[in-house]
Structure 1
Amino acid sequence: MPLTPRERVLTVLAHEAPDRVPIFIGADLTTGILSQAYLNLKTYLGLAPTINAYLYDWPELGAPRIEEVVLERLHSDVRGIQDRFPASTYQRNRARPPGSPYWDDWGVGQTEIAPDFYYPSIHPLAQAQTPEDILSYPHWPDMDDPSRYAHLSAEAAQLAQDNYYAIVAAPWLIAPLERACQLQGMETFLVNLIEGPDLAQALLEKIKSLCITHLGHFLAALGKNVDILILGDDLGAQNGPLISPRLYRHTLKPIHAEIIAFAKAHSPAKIFFHSDGDISAFLDDFVEIGVDILNPIQTSAGQMGNLGDLKRRYGKHLIFCGGIDTQTVLSTGRPDEVRQEVKRVIEILGESGGYLLAAVHSITNEVPPQNILAMVDAALEFGCYHH
């Protein structure tokens, strides 16, 4: 008997081998498909090239909510549940002049740096000098706003009742370092971590307390109806860590540990941690603070390309999710090259279970539909476990 998608995912989460490698597409932004690639895929599949809804109801994010008919063709074993922004954030942005900056609920301005591509570039705390400047910032988000969470219970209960797909909860950006960089500007904040540690610590602590309030409401709404919770923080650059492991252990690790401990105390969900780049220097730390699933395994970044070593060293502790290179293989490879790469990655990371197949981060706009389908079809072909 083939397993249901949910049974398949839960088998992997238990570090056992299911009937085939699960496919993890469409749960959130980091496992999604960007707008143009999605429209191209729908056209290729003979579907109307329309986007009916966006993740987080946020068109400027550029990530559609993938429709059920497409998720089924992609054989995705997971279904995502996202929170919303406060109603006031949507009202303000829908009323703004076209092409003007999008303001998020933290007061960060996202500007259109290419057609329909927005990037956080207005940093409201760039000038902050002292911890007092942090505390007196007038635009801290209201994490108690019920419009963020009102829809979650019913959505989760329906998925749980169907009991067919694994339920993946994706609250928007529970990522303290990333938030701090958006609020201050990346360079400013990274300098403050070293030269203005009191300011940096005050900012991270404030973000952490808001994230925990947010998670409290989010997880309470889901109750037991959740299998995986997506958290993360971008700690890696192309060839090594973004900050030194020593600085990470001193400053950020306790904050990540506290957020993960809170989530585990308030939910049965396994912790999925998304961190781009070469994060090999932090993997022992992630295991120690309770990360269960590591994503996106950016094989093009430094040591993360050594999949055999990753599997040998961490396969007993971490489930790997990702590993199918978006930068070159999916973007510019031929479908047969995509197939070969899927086969290669499954043979290493998928050995005796412990692997969820996904692209490295979102499937970007230049990825042709033939390659998206080659990836998932190869997973069905090469991902079977012989019991």
Structure 2
Amino acid sequence: MITGMDRLVAAINGEKSDRIPVFCNLLDQGAAELGIDSLEEYYANGEHVAEAQLRMREKYGHDNVWSLFYVGKEAELLGCEKIIFSKSGPPNVEDFVIKSYDDIVNLEIPDDISTHPGFEENLKCLKILKREVGGKYPICAYITAGMTLPAILMGMDKWLELLLMGPADIRDLLLEKCSDFFRKEIKAFRDNGADVCVYSNPFGSTDFVSLKQFEALSMPWMKRDIEPGGVGGLVYYCGSSRFNKVIDRVIEELGIGVFYLSPKDDIAEAKKIINGRGLTCGVINDIKLVSWSREEIRAEVKRMCDAGMPGGKFLFGTLVMPYDIPEQNIRTMLEAAYEYGSY
């Protein structure tokens, strides 16, 4: 039996399996899968998250499972005391850890994320996933880059103000602490079973910063983030922002070899830029799956596969998969990816 890990390894190596790997990021849907009404109740238990991931992978047949709960979980590890749990959207930060520059000075980074109480449920989830599907299906972790983490600690508006106009010494102190946190968090995930670490950095895209700012600010801090543990299993992802313009520099300077594109990026152009030096991940605009017809979904999946499959080294992926996507549309998308992604 061919596994999701088999397909991923074949794609990375430029070899053909039965089909391309297909990653589907089903997260909040796990609560409904287990019959749990409240996302707060669902995400309070790592066993729930792991069980739902396993059930959904078996149900739909895609090639990955997630250890991700919600992005605000990282803020909780640094002192966030209040998360908003919506009935129709992902949980988000309500209480910002940083409200003044003094809070930056006083911010303490945990010595060992693996032993932090806030990581306990993540650890439970990872252990179950590793026991049940380790080596067969890639276990994915989502880790916010040091340059983006401040946005969930103080709010995007305040972070942009500090990043672009604030005191450079305070900015760099916060970036250093957030980079330290990233290094420890990715180590914790890798040490406990994560195969794929999604390096999420919208500030690694020229949609967020200019090319000059990318070179002067983003690149040095990205180098610092990933230097200790290297790029093994690392996926470059810019939070759905475009990054075709910087792929060549990222390959040259950082050595990353997996690129999870924006739906706005031209897949064929990305393949040409990467030129066999890495894995191109074409990503569907899954927000549109809420209302698209079966015909529209199939046409878009076919378009993406036609653009990405020539020359190999291609993966089909999704973004955040909104909770309101009808189940039949999830199935339609995945069945089309399996059909059009077959060799």
In structure 2, the CA distance between the partners of 1:178 and 1:32, relative to structure 1 (3 Å rule), is: farther
1:128 equivalent to 2:101? Answer yes
Distance in 2 between residues matched to 1:145 and 1:381, nearest whole Å: 40
After the TM superposition, which residues 107-146 of structure 1 pair with which residues of structure 2 at under 5 Å, given as runs?
A: 107-108=79-80, 110=82, 112=84, 114-115=86-87, 117=89, 118-128=91-101, 134-137=104-107, 140-141=109-110, 143-144=112-113, 146=115
**Equivalent position to 1:159, from 128, 133, 147:** 133
Residues 260-295 of structure 1, C-alpha deviation per residue, up to 9 Å, x if partnerless? 232228xxx421122122223332232231222222
1:271 matched to which residue of 2? 234
CA drift at 1:314: 1.8
1:321 equivalent to 2:281? Answer yes
Residues 74-115 of structure 1, C-alpha deviation per residue, up to 9 Å, x if partnerless? 211223446999xxx99xxxxxxxxxxx97222235553854
Residues 142-191 of structure 1, C-alpha deviation per residue, up to 9 Å, x if partnerless? 5345253754467535534xx432x3241x53322321112222122212
2:300 matched to which residue of 1? 341
1:242 matched to which residue of 2? 208
Distance in 2 between residues matched to 1:174 and 1:234, nearest whole Å: 9
In structure 2, the CA distance between the partners of 1:67 and 1:113, relative to structure 1 (3 Å rule), is: closer
Q: CA RMSD in A?
A: 3.6
What secondary structure, in the 3-state scheme, does the structure 2 residue paired with 1:241 have? coil
2:172 matched to which residue of 1? 201
CA contact (8 A) 2:270 2:280 kept: no
Give TM-score, length-normalised by structure 1.
0.73
- Which amino acid letter does the alignment assign opposite residue 71 of structure 1? R
CA drift at 1:127: 1.9
2:249 matched to which residue of 1? 285
1:68 matched to which residue of 2? 54
1:213 matched to which residue of 2? 184
CA contact (8 A) 1:319 1:354 kept: yes
1:307 matched to which residue of 2? 267
**Equivalent position to 1:368, from 326, 332, 338:** 326
| Identity among equivalent pairs (%) | 18
Rg (Cα) greater in structure: 1
Gaps of 5+ in 2: none
Give TM-score, length-normalised by structure 2.
0.82
Distance in 1 between residues matched to 2:292 and 2:2, nearest whole Å: 32
CA contact (8 A) 2:27 2:68 kept: no
1:258 equivalent to 2:224? Answer yes
Distance in 2 between residues matched to 1:103 and 1:310, nearest whole Å: 33
1:79 equivalent to 2:65? Answer yes
In structure 2, the CA distance between the partners of 1:262 and 1:169, relative to structure 1 (3 Å rule), is: farther
Q: How many residues align?
A: 332
CA drift at 1:199: 1.4
